[in-house]
Amino acid sequence: MARIVFTPQLRRFVEAPEVETPALQLRAGLEDAFASNPRLRAYVLDDQGHLRPNVVIFVDGKRLREYQRLDEALAPDTVVHVLQALSGG
């Protein structure tokens, strides 16, 4: 299953444990993480379900450039990192 790893900086505000997901798309994988941890959603996504502008996601080391659809494919060995963008400090 794909793994989603959240920045430890989130732990100041909300629990954000690593999640394993059978999802085949990034958004579905994130929804799996939010299902067990609803407060986490608003830290990662905005009112319209878009990735927050100062959060950055890497999928297998490749930085995501698309912030609305979040339809990047996930494979069973995919590792997703949800991190702070340095722009937002």
CB of 80 to another protein, least distance (A): 17
**x-or-dash pattern for another protein, window 51-70, by CB under 8 A?**
-x-xx---------------
Residue 9 in contact with another protein, rule: CB under 8 A: yes
Strand 62-63: give its sheet, edge to edge. Answer: 19-21, 2-6, 79-84, 55-59, 62-63
Alpha-carbon distance of 44 to 51, in angstroms, equals 6
Binding residues for another protein, rule: CB under 8 A, are 9-10, 13-14, 39, 42-44, 46-48, 50, 52, 54-55, 84-85, 88-89
